[in-house]
Amino acid sequence: MLIDVSEHNGNIDWAKVKAAGVTGVIVRCGFGQNYKKQDDAKFKQNMDGAINAGLDIGVYMYSYAKNAASAKSEAEHTLRLVDPYKDKITLPIYYDLEENSISSVAKSNAVVFGDIIEKAGYWCGVYASLSWFKTYLKGLDKYTKWVAAWGKDNGKPGTKPSIACDLWQYTSKGKVNGINGYVDCDELLTDLPAKIRAEKAQNGAGGKNKDNNPQNGSDASQGNTEPKKTIDQLAKEVLAGKWGNGVDRKERLTKAGYDYNKVQDRVNEMLYGKKVYLTVNTISAPLNMRATPNGKVIGSVPKGKEVELIEKTNASWYKVKYNGKTGYCYSKYLKA
């Protein structure tokens, strides 16, 4: 039997939980975007206690994301918290989707979250009710599924979910020695810890081969990452929108085995015919250069200096190069 817990379960006596026959636990790490105030208050305590008790460990993040940017932040939130436990995790990291306000974007957000988690080397799964998997998440089969199907919700397993899944949450009213009050109880339908341990032995701490899931537009495949397209072909695909923008474009091209800088240089040649330079036209202060649009400041460019245009990422942000450093500057203050 497995259980899943959060700060709402209070202080847990993990030795008693183990003695009661529990073999594994899914621990909530937090909820929502990447703010420390939204970390689960008992995450570290629960992780350390369960690990010391010898239980299999997984993690879940409760989602409030209403767009892809927020889903990305929730993935970053998760990775910040699980990183110290990477070699201890023997169950997937799950994305908990149940808020009615996010139902229309839940499926697409799950892909954003899941791909980031798996790129970091972990197994990713999705948690939702059976009805959600049959409606809002229908066709989302690229991640392992944890399905809530409580039946009479009387603390005992009832009828298993009517869809294929690896983990079944069968009640919210379980009773386990060592935990005050009710606790969610789960049944493994596939030996996920054995699979993850096998992948850890082959691929490293997290278990998941980072190249197992190429993104759309990528030519990467396991065991074969040789570039298949010419720089000209790739540049034309970039201009057609097949490789995304900004950081996403760089990551996808690099993952597929291509030289991002060569591809982007060719894109600029096709767009402008030659290298394009823009002049910083601030009122007085230098113009900040950031690691990502609206991201961390990594440098500045004095007023009147020229920067090389690398990419017009969107209407507000341009990717530029100055003094050998590449970053993003607010387009309003860049003039041809």
Each residue's pLDDT tens digit, 83-128: 999 999 999 999 999 999 999 999 999 999 999 999 999 999 999 9
326/77: higher pLDDT = 77
169 residue type, one letter:
Q
274 residue type, one letter:
K
User: Cβ of 269: how many Cβ atoms within 10 Å?
Assistant: 13
- 63 pLDDT tier (thresholds 50, 70, 90): very high
Q: Is the pTM of this model over 0.95?
A: no
Q: Which of 326, 323, 280 is nearest to 303 (CA)?
A: 280
Question: What is the phi/psi pair of residue 178, to 5°?
Answer: 105, -10
Domains and CATH numbers, the chain: 2-203 (3.20.20.80), 277-335 (2.30.30.40)
Task: Look up residue 83 and give its DSSP letter.
Answer: G
Contact call for residues 330 and 281 (beta carbons, < 8 A): no
pLDDT at 213 over 50: no
Mean pLDDT (the chain) is 87
Contact call for residues 12 and 4 (beta carbons, < 8 A): no
Please count the CA atoms within 13 angstroms of the CA of 110 that sit on its side-chain side: 29
Q: Please give the radius of gyration of the chain, using alpha carbons only, rounded to the nearest integer.
A: 23
pLDDT at 310: 83
- What percentage of residues in the chain have a pLDDT greater than 90? 58
Strands 167-174, 144-148: pairing kind: parallel
At 211, list the tokens: 């190249």
Q: What is the mean pLDDT of residues 275-282?
A: 84
333/64: higher pLDDT = 64
HEC string for 9-60: HCCCCHHHHHHCCCCEEEEEEEECCCCHHHECCCHHHHHHHHHHCCCEEEEE
In the block, residue with structure tokens 């809530």: 148
Contact call for residues 145 and 193 (beta carbons, < 8 A): no
Contact call for residues 41 and 9 (beta carbons, < 8 A): no
pLDDT at 312 over 90: no
HEC string for 116-160: HHHHCCCCEEEEEEHHHHHCCCCCCCCCEEEEECCCCCCCCCCCC
pLDDT at 203: 67
3-state secondary structure of 199: helix
User: Tens digits of per-residue pLDDT, 218-255?
Assistant: 333 333 434 468 887 888 888 777 787 777 788 888 88
pLDDT at 68 over 90: yes
Rounded-to-integer distance, Cα 278 and Cα 262, Å: 20
pLDDT at 215: 36
Stated as kind and residue range, the H or E segment containing 136 is none
The neighbouring-strand residues paired with 306 are 279
In the block, residue with structure tokens 């080397």: 121
Q: What is the mean pLDDT of residues 193-208?
A: 76
pLDDT at 214 over 60: no
- Alpha-carbon dihedral 263, 266, 271, 272, rounded to 10 degrees: 130
- 208 pLDDT tier (thresholds 50, 70, 90): low
Question: What is the phi/psi pair of residue 125, to 5°?
Answer: -135, 170
pLDDT at 169 over 60: yes
User: Cβ of 141: how many Cβ atoms within 10 Å?
Assistant: 12
Give the sign of the dihedral formed by CA 106, CA 112, CA 118, CA 121.
Answer: negative
18/248: higher pLDDT = 18
